[in-house]
Amino acid sequence: MNDIKLIFASNLIRLRQSAGMTQLMLAEKINYSDKSISKWERGEAIPDAYVLKALSERFGVTIDELLRTHSEWKSDDPDLSKKVEYSQLSIILTAIAAIFTLCFLEFILVWMLVDKLHWIVLFAAIPLSLIALLVLNSIWYKGRHNMYIVMALVLTLFLLGYFTGLMFKHNFWQLLLIIIPAEIIVVLAFHIRRRNKKKPAAAGRGTAVQEQA
């Protein structure tokens, strides 16, 4: 019974996170408390048949599939992955839009209080949005294309420093000279990480060859 609880807990966490839902959001969808969702995901209990049916309909899977291991999990809804991807993309775009809105609000407030246009406040929305994108991309897309996001972030941070200096009548053009070596470091760092990931696999193959010998 404990094994079934843990399998169900693992499947529930996977389905909920893939759908971009929090425990509270899922609880509201099935008219249960978030404490119950948390209890199920910790493997401390398993819901009754009525709740299992509600969850299976919510995620487009059968009850039997909710109780299987991940390797056997398949969705009855062929469009589920598209729905999940659309939901995640919507959250990313919403987060970026919120950042730009807050920066624009700050720009308006500074304009009203100081009676000056500080465009640097609007430019700051770009690196902040890239940071949010980097975090969400790492969570949902396993860091795919993170290298390009970090490269863009490094570029915008140097430009932000340069434009901030111009705002205070200081031309720190020397900052622009560091952009190219900084970008090279980012590329090398990501390639080093990829090579490190491949080493265990190579070691595993070497061990298998030795065992066969």
Please say if the pLDDT value at position 135 is more than 80. yes
Per CATH, the number for 2-72 is 1.10.260.40
User: What's the pTM value of the predicted model, to 2 decimals?
Assistant: 0.51
Whole-Å CA distances, 129 to 69, 86, 196: 37, 19, 29
Instruction: Give the helix, strand, coil percentages of the chain, each rounded to 5.
Output: 75, 0, 25
- Cα separation, 174 vs 177, in Å, equals 5
Q: What is the pLDDT of residues 4-22, one digit of tens each?
A: 888 888 888 888 888 888 8
- Cα separation, 32 vs 18, in Å, equals 20
Instruction: Delimit the domains of the chain by residue range.
Output: 2-72, 83-199
Kindly give, in sequence order, each residue whose CB lies less than 8 Å from that of residue 7, ignoring residues fewer than 6 positions away: 67, 68, 69
Q: What is the pLDDT of residues 93-132, one digit of tens each?
A: 999 999 999 989 988 888 888 777 778 888 889 999 999 9
Determine the average pLDDT of the residues in 65-75. Answer: 62
Q: Please answer whether residues 79 and 71 qualify as being in contact, where contact means their C-beta atoms are separated by less than 8 angstroms.
A: no
